[in-house]
Amino acid sequence: MEQIPTTENLSFEEAFRELEETVRRLETGDLTLEESIVLFEKGQALARHCSAALDQAELRVSQLSGTGGENRQVVFGGDESAEREE
Amino acid sequence: MNPNTEQLSLFGPSPQNPYTISQITRHIKELFDTDFQLQDVWLEGEVSNFSRSAAGHAYFTLKDAAASIHCVLWRSIAARQPNLPRDGDTIIAHGHITVYEAQGRYQFYVDSWQQAGVGLLYLEFEALKARLAEEGLFAPERKRPLPPFPRCVGVVTSPTGAALRDILHVLGRRFPLTRVLLAPTLVQGAEAPPQIVAALRALQSQPEVDVIIVARGGGSLEELWAFNDERVARAIAASRVPVISGVGHETDFTIADFAADVRAPTPSAAAEIAVPDQAELRDALQMRNRRLVQLIQSEIARERRALEAQTQSLRRLSPRSRIDALRQRVDELTRASATYVAHRLTLCRERLRARTLQLQGMNSYAILARGYAIVRQRESGLVVRSVAQVQTGAQLDVRVSDGEFPAVVE
């Protein structure tokens, strides 16, 4: 039986790749029904995770102060604040 | 001393021993040809008296306010240029100066030229591009693939420019999951190249940076010049992570573009190339999701069919049919036995009737009417057939045709 991994901590890329891998494994078949269902549920969770990540994402912008300095978070939120910056 | 040797006299000419025109012209030509400066000349001037010979060679004069020089552009060189100079153009030309002996004049033999202004920069640009290309800095095999989902996009540009605004807008629209790390820098002027190099280095020291955009909005060739700097080109080529260049407009090509892993025509386009589009990703997710449902449904359907096949096999192999067969047999037997018994009963009944009739025919009592009597010992009920069976005083019952009466033996 396949373990259901937590999708919570996966990055978008990891989740997206895992989703593709899950679909691929389901496609190749050769699984018990229980395994298929576990994979199916895992795939759905991954797809939800990816969608939610996109839904909640907001561009975070920071700026290097000086050359090689520490990062400094700046106030660019999205389009409006970027325009404010102009 | 022999004029035929075409050597000039060590002691100079004299009225008795003048030089030939060829001799002196050759001498002058040698002076020109041994002058290193005249072999590698850049000239700027205005074109006049432009003409082309039937053979395709071009002749013109370059002049400034106070002087002029005859120029020759051979057909082979002229053919490499999209446009030939026209009278009135100010051009910058490269070539060498030597003497055309037949006409006794020195001429500038042009091997490359550009319109003045952009021309010189352009030639420098071409020279640097050729040198770096020769070195392999732009080789296709050096180009690295871009990460499909960058965690962090490093941006080298002016913190106040339109390029940054455009980049942030596109990144935010397409893939807001990414982080942006801006390395602010001047993007024009003499200070710009070292700053751009430093910004590139600073971003590479940040481990989360997966890809770098080097960008500048549109401008004149001079304004974009920092991106034609050799140091910038080398820093881009040496970058730890892939670099996307987005400098100027579509038509602007810089050395940075050639050194970058991917050249984008504009800053916005660079941002588009740097990250995937969430609209496409959402489509892809939906497609995967549909595929998952489809797969699991077909899997369940397949399992159901398999189950049905097994059920059918089980049904076929079940003892039920044998039980049914046996039950029917029992039923048959039951019915058969009932018939048999009934038959037997009928038979018995028939026999009984026959016997009864027979008995009636043989009825012993009928005989009594003829005067016979049946005598029985009262106690035993035995029919008395012999005198030996009775003693005096024995009680008997005597049966006659119409009844019975008791008797005692005397």
Whole-angstrom distance, CA of residue B207 vs CA of residue A68: 12
Nearest to A82 among B169, B205, B282 (CB): B169
Measured torsion, CA atoms of residues B153, B154, B159, B160, in degrees rounded to the nearest 10: -40
Whether residue A66 has pLDDT greater than 70: no
**A76 vs B201 pLDDT, higher one:** B201
- The minimum CA-CA distance between B259 and chain A, rounded to whole Å, is 22
The Cβ-side half-sphere exposure at B308, using a 13 Å CA radius, reads: 6
Burial class of residue B149 in the structure, from the number of CB atoms within 10 Å of its CB (0-12 exposed, 13-18 middle, 19+ buried): middle
Mean pLDDT across chain B:
88
CB contact set of A81 (below 8 Å; sequence gap of 6+): A75
B295, A22 Cβ separation under 8 angstroms = no
Q: How many CB pairs under 8 A join A and B?
A: 128
B153, B171 Cβ separation under 8 angstroms = yes
Locate all alpha helices (DSSP H) within B318-402, ordered by sequence.
Answer: 320-361, 364-368
Measured between beta carbons, the chain B residues lying within 8 angstroms of A37 are 296
Tokens of B4: 């035929």
- pTM strictly above 0.80: no
**B119 vs B46 pLDDT, higher one:** B46
Least confident interval from A23-27, B97-101, B218-222, B230-234: B218-222
Nearest to B288 among A19, A53, A60 (CB): A19
Interface of A with B (CB under 8 A): 11-13, 16, 19-20, 22-23, 26-27, 29, 31, 33, 36-37, 40, 43-44, 47, 50-51, 53-54, 57-64, 67-69, 71, 74, 76, 78-79, 82-83, 85-86
pLDDT for the residue numbered B222: 77
Per-residue pLDDT tens over the stretch B161-203: 999 999 999 999 999 999 999 999 999 988 999 999 999 999 9
B181, A71 Cβ separation under 8 angstroms = yes
Per-residue pLDDT tens over the stretch A31-47: 888 888 899 999 999 99
Mean pLDDT of B36-58: 91
Per-residue pLDDT tens over the stretch B16-38: 888 889 999 999 999 999 999 99
SS3 B6: coil
Whole-angstrom distance, CA of residue B374 vs CA of residue B402: 12
For residue B153, list its beta bridge partners. B180, B211
Whether residue A72 has pLDDT greater than 70: no
Does any CB of chain A come closer than 8 Å to the CB of residue B203? Answer: yes
Whether residue B210 has pLDDT greater than 70: yes
Whole-angstrom distance, CA of residue B62 vs CA of residue A6: 78
Whole-angstrom distance, CA of residue B7 vs CA of residue B11: 11
Measured between beta carbons, the chain B residues lying within 8 angstroms of A22 are 292
Measured between beta carbons, the chain A residues lying within 8 angstroms of B281 are 16, 50, 54
pLDDT for the residue numbered B152: 95
Whole-angstrom distance, CA of residue B132 vs CA of residue B126: 10
ipTM passes above 0.95: no
The Cβ-side half-sphere exposure at A42, using a 13 Å CA radius, reads: 25
Whole-angstrom distance, CA of residue B57 vs CA of residue B51: 8
For the beta carbon of residue B388, count every other beta carbon within 10 angstroms: 7
Mean pLDDT of B222-233: 90
B41, B26 Cβ separation under 8 angstroms = no
Whole-angstrom distance, CA of residue B111 vs CA of residue B179: 51
Q: Which helix (H) or strand (E) holds B316?
A: helix B278-317
Does any CB of chain A come closer than 8 Å to the CB of residue B148? Answer: yes
- Of B204, B187, B205, nearest in space to B196 by CA: B187
Mean pLDDT across chain A:
75
**B10 vs B17 pLDDT, higher one:** B17
Q: Is the Cβ pair A61, B148 closer than 8 Å?
A: no
* CA end-to-end distance (rounded Å), chain B: 224
Tokens of B10: 């060590």
